[in-house]
Amino acid sequence: MRIKLLSWNVNGIRSAVKNGALRDIEELDPDFICLQEIKSDEKTVPLEITSLGYSAFVNPAKKRGYSGTMILTKEKPLSVKTGIGSMQFDEEGRVLSVETEKFWLINVYFPNSQRDLVRLDYKLEFDREFGSYCLELQKTKPLIIAGDFNVAHEDIDIARPDENRNNAGFTNQERNWMTRFLDSGFIDTFRMFNREPGNYSWWTYRFNAREKNIGWRIDYFIVSEILRKNTKTSTILKDIKGSDHAPLSLEIEFP
């Protein structure tokens, strides 16, 4: 059984739909779709999304028009979990998990540590709490984690590393946490297949950055180590527009 998963920070689900995101999703025909930063709740998600033939689950932020995560799945999950059990993070709708027979799928939208690192401590606390959540959940089934981690892990993951050291998303603290998280039993699937520079998933809207490919790789598909051999492809769909992020595709095969 081979399954295809799609992950995409849409930077507002309604604007993404207007920009043609549905057409791209339908053409890809994934089994699971993880959307981050939807900026909507159940009442304001475009009807076009819910008419695609998927079961839809939403974890909105308490604040309207902010953050939020969504999972669309062709198969009805065994269970659904919203949040990680911490009120200060869960009110921002950053984590949504669904359980299938073979694995847990976690959709996550990490906080941005922001200009002047005003939210770095909040981000690092979220990092720790999320890591603990994953390790606990992994005791039951392997994990597939999709999302915007808001960190470029290594120099290869950013177009201009020297200019961005200690800027939000490229601080030593954030990058070191990512290293520790992966070392705790997880795989950055994209780097299983591609060790080349110049592969990014986010570009600022300014300065024609996307056309010049001045970007950051901050979106990831992460899997439990036990799923390494099951992982068949992991790609960045950089030619698909509709957001300042490119969607990611992952294919995993189960016996």
Strand partners, 148: 109, 219
9 labeled part of a ligand binding site: yes
Catalytic residue among 24, 31, 148, 157: 148
Phi, psi of 132 (to 5 degrees): -65, -40
Whether 244 has a binding-site annotation, put simply, is yes
* 148 marked as part of a ligand binding site: yes
- The answer to whether residue 148 is catalytic is yes
Residue 174 annotated as binding site: no
Strand partners of residue 231: 252
Note the Cα 171 to chain centre separation in Å.
Answer: 19
Name which of 91, 93, 90 is nearest 70 in CA terms. 93
SS3 (DSSP) at 88: helix
CA atoms within 13 A on the CB side of 161: 14
- Residue of 54, 109, 133, 220 marked catalytic: 109
Using an 8 Å Cβ cutoff, are 119 and 111 in contact? Answer: yes
Q: Is 153 a residue of the active site?
A: no
> Using CA atoms in the order 27, 103, 48, 246, what is the torsion angle rounded to 10 degrees?
-60
Judge whether 174 and 218 are in contact, CB under 8 Å. no
**Beta carbons of 96 and 132 less than 8 angstroms apart:** no
- Secondary structure (DSSP) of 204-233: -SGGGHHHHT--B--EEEEEEGGGTTTEEE
Active-site option among 31, 54, 127, 245: 245
Annotated binding-site residues read 9, 37, 148, 150, 244-245
Annotated binding-site residues for Mg(2+) read 9, 37, 148, 150, 244-245
- Catalytic positions are 109, 148, 245
